[in-house]
Structure 1
Amino acid sequence: MKILIVGGNGTIGNKVSAYFAKNHEVLIAGRNSGAVTVDISNSKSIKAMFEKTGTIDAIICVAGEAKWKPFDELSEEDYYVGFKSKLMGQVNLVRIGQQYLTKNGSITLTTGILADDPVPMTASAAMVNGAIHSFVKAVILDLEGKIRVNVVSSGLVEDAVDKYDAYFPGHNPIPMTKVINGYRKSVEGKGTGEIIRIYN
């Protein structure tokens, strides 16, 4: 398969990319580096990316940002960061990317445990993750028989413990092999509309 991995150089993305590159043709897209560059908060940039990649068999997105702040400090503009990047960025990858996928191709989005088990300072991030879950369950009703869409939602991954452990007291770090298997299930399996939760 020819697989486009948006955010393929990040903490999770680089491990996912390394796995799929063993048996597939992998194209990495990043904001500043990769085979192609893309700003997922900009639909024109997404369109330009697909014009460069051409037809592909699978899209994986491991990109998108949202503001982490105490609720009383979150401005309206802070919410729009997550809305434009992680939420609409991934929605637009589906909206535009479907035109460049082979029949029965797949799109895999990424959220996280905050959708189900939020921690302080994540009102914006948790909201965005939950919205993506609802989007995936709804959009496949219109795309059935054309392409598959799933979302991988992981807990705190082992490779990010040093950076985020203080925010997730008592959470069990998720081995990267389990995280990779979530993306394998989405891309190499046959399911669609699935929220693939990797929390334990």
Structure 2
Amino acid sequence: MKILLVGATGTLGQAVARQLGQQHQILDAGRSSGTLRVDLTDDASVNELFARTGAVDAVISTTGKLHFGPLRDMTPERFNVGLQDKLLGQVRLALAAQHHLTPGGSITLTSGIVSAQPIRDGVNATSVNAALEGFVRAAALELLPRGLRINVVSPNVLVESMDAYAPYFPGFEAVTAQRAALAYQRAVEGILSGETITVW
């Protein structure tokens, strides 16, 4: 398969690239690194990305910014960080990707455990991740008759990221990026659609 992986140089993206790269061609893309460059907050940038890749068999996103902070200090501007980047960025990618997938192709997005298990200072993250999962459930129903699939992977906090995120996840059992990468393989190579694949 020819797989477009956006966020390929991040901790999770690297693990996904290693796992799927054993059997498939990976087109690595990112905002500031990678063979291909794309800004998921910009329509023109996303369209240019697919103009360069041509048809692909699968599209994966392992990227997206969120705002972490207490609700009492939340402003629409801060809340908008996650809406514009992780939520609309991945939705924008999926909306464009549907027109560039080969028959039987798939889209895999990334949410996170906080969609179901909120954390302190994580209102933006919970809202965005839950919205992504809702988008995938609904989009799958319209993509399926066209022979296309879409799923979302919801990983726990990663072992490799605990130095930065441990204060936000007290008592959570972190998972390795490699374990999370298996869920992306299941999404791409399997038959699921409209599912939130949890790695908790």
**Shorter-chain TM-score range:** over 0.9
RMSD: 0.9
Q: Could you give the per-residue CA deviations for residues 23-71 of structure 1, whole angstroms, max 9, x where no partner exists?
A: 1110111001111101101121111111111110000000111111111
Q: TM-score, normalized by length of structure 1?
A: 0.97
Displacement after TM superposition at 1:175 (Å): 2.5
Deviations 1:86-127 (A, max 9, x none): 111111111111111101100000010110001111111110
Residue in structure 1 matched with residue 81 of structure 2 by the alignment: 81
Alignment partners' CA distance in 1, 2:34 and 2:177: 22
Which amino acid is the alignment partner of residue 93 of structure 1?
A: L
Give me the whole-angstrom Cα distance separating, in 2, the residues matched to 1:13 and 1:195: 18
Q: What is the Cα deviation at residue 79 of structure 1?
A: 1.4
In the alignment, what sits opposite 1:124? 124
Structure 1 CA distance for aligned equivalents of residues 163 and 26 of structure 2: 29
CA distance in 1, matches of 2:17, 2:110: 14
> Aligned equivalents of 1:85 and 1:187: distance in 2?
23
For the Cα contact (< 8 Å) 2:58–2:105, is it kept in 1?
yes
Q: Distance in 2 between matches of 1:22 and 1:64?
A: 25
Shift of 1:177: 3.0
Contact 1:43 1:89 in 2 (8 A): no
- Match of 1:170? 171
Correspondence 1:43-62 to 2 at 5 A: 43-62=43-62
How far apart in 2 are the matches of 1:138 and 1:61?
18
SS at match of 2:99: helix
Find the aligned partners of 2:82 and 2:164 in 1 and give their Cα distance. Answer: 20
Paired with 1:65 and 1:59, the residues of 2 have a C-alpha distance of 19
Q: What is the one-letter code of the residue matched to 2:3?
A: I
Distance across 1 between alignment mates of 2:134 and 2:99 = 22
Q: Using the alignment, how far apart are the partners of 2:81 and 2:167 within structure 1?
A: 23
Preserved CA contact (<8 Å) 2:19 2:182:
no
Match of 2:96 in 1: 96
Q: Identify the residue that residue 194 of structure 2 maps to in structure 1.
A: 193
The TM-score normalised by the length of structure 2 is 0.97
* 1:64 maps onto 2:64 in alignment: yes
Separation in structure 1 between the aligned mates of residue 9 and residue 16 of structure 2, nearest angstrom: 9
Measured in 2, the distance between the counterparts of 1:34 and 1:174 equals 25
Q: Aligned-pair distance for 1:176?
A: 2.7
Which secondary structure does the structure 1 equivalent of 2:98 belong to?
A: helix
Q: Give me the whole-angstrom Cα distance separating, in 2, the residues matched to 1:185 and 1:20.
A: 10
Deviation at 1:144, TM superposition (A): 1.2
Q: Which amino acid aligns with 1:53?
A: T
State the one-letter code of the partner of 1:179: A
Q: Which stretches in structure 2 are left out of the alignment for 5+ residues? A: none
1:173 offset after TM fit, Å?
Answer: 1.1
Whether the 8 Å contact between 2:66 and 2:124 is mirrored in structure 1 is yes
Asked if structure 2 preserves the Cα contact closer than 8 Å seen for 1:158 and 1:175, the reply is yes
Counterpart of 1:25 in structure 2: which amino acid? Q
Report whether the alignment pairs 1:150 with 2:151: yes
- Between the two proteins, what is the percent identity of the paired residues? 38
